[in-house]
Amino acid sequence: MQIEIDQKTIEVECCRGFWKNFRGLMFSRRKNILLVLPREGRNRAAIHSFFVFFPFQAVFINSRNEVVDAMRMKPFRVFRPRKPAKFVLELSEGNIAANDIIIGSRLVFKMV
């Protein structure tokens, strides 16, 4: 899957379903993933970085494909977004700045 932000493209692995979302980046190598949540919400979009042994960036996206929050996650931390989110984009470090992602940015999801 690809995500476009202002003419820039990020390749991501799409994770749907409880177990894929639960696992996220745990025990994996650095990669970009998109967690698709069953419903939009603050608590539903809360993430942890237990057993993720590298820092990464999390971008929280609502059902209108707008960025509502972003956070640099260190290993063994928990974070809940400030606003409800339907998607969580977990990125390798540096992707937020490199792709000019800010609160309010609109993303386009493309299946490849």
pLDDT digits (tens, 9 = 90+) for 32-70: 999 999 999 999 999 999 999 999 999 999 999 999 999
- Asked if residue 104 has pLDDT above 90, the reply is yes
Q: What is the pTM of this model?
A: 0.90
Residue 57, H or E segment: strand 56-61
Residue range(s) defining the domain that contains residue 31: 2-110
Q: Round to whole Å and give the CA distance between 8 and 108.
A: 10
Confidence of residue 85 (pLDDT cuts 50, 70, 90): very high
Q: What CATH number does the domain containing 80 carry?
A: 2.60.120.1140
Q: How many domains does the chain have?
A: 1
**CA 110 vs CA 1, 7, 9, 26, 107: distances in Å:** 6, 13, 10, 25, 10
Structural contact between residues 111 and 1, judged by C-beta atoms closer than 8 angstroms: yes
Structure tokens at 13: 């692995």
Confidence of residue 28 (pLDDT cuts 50, 70, 90): confident
Given this model, what pLDDT does residue 26 score? 81
